[in-house]
Copies of this chain bind each other. A is one copy, B any other.
Amino acid sequence: MGDFMYNNKLYYNPVEFALDKIGGTWKMPILWRLNKKVMRFSELKRSMPHISDKMLTSQLRDLEGNGFIKRKVYAVVPPKVEYSITEDGKRVIPVLETLRNFGLELMKEAGIELKKGTAGTAKP
């Protein structure tokens, strides 16, 4: 199977193409949350303690650009913007779940338990 170009970028295979759209540290966490409910910028941010404003903005833009989420702006002050998942976005959920389940398996085998609040290296 051959390489291909799209939007001036070279891909070696379909997996790479898929991960270009939904990979990276933040895209799946965002889609995961928006699949459960419509959320505002600040709400998303609070739910992901480590993300920076810049990252959240740019990832939301990317996801919107690929049609996975929708952005709705309310003309109020202070600003209010709501993000929701689209039908296209919902199609990545099964993929995400496959990856997540595989990750959970690997974690279990590695002896990692993630209960609410605590996680990490083994306990006595």
- Chain A residues packing against B (C-beta within 8 Å): 1-6, 12-19, 21, 23, 25, 28-29, 48, 50, 91-92, 94-96, 98-107, 110, 112, 114-121
Contact = CB atoms under 8 A, between A and B. Distances in A.
Contact of A1 (B13, B50, B114, B121): B114
Q: Which of A17, A101, A105 has the most CB of B within 10 A?
A: A17
Contact of A4 (B14, B92, B99, B112): B112
Stoichiometry (number of copies):
2
Nearest to A119: B4
A25 B16 CA distance: 7
Given A2-B116, A4-B114, A119-B3, A15 B107 contact: no
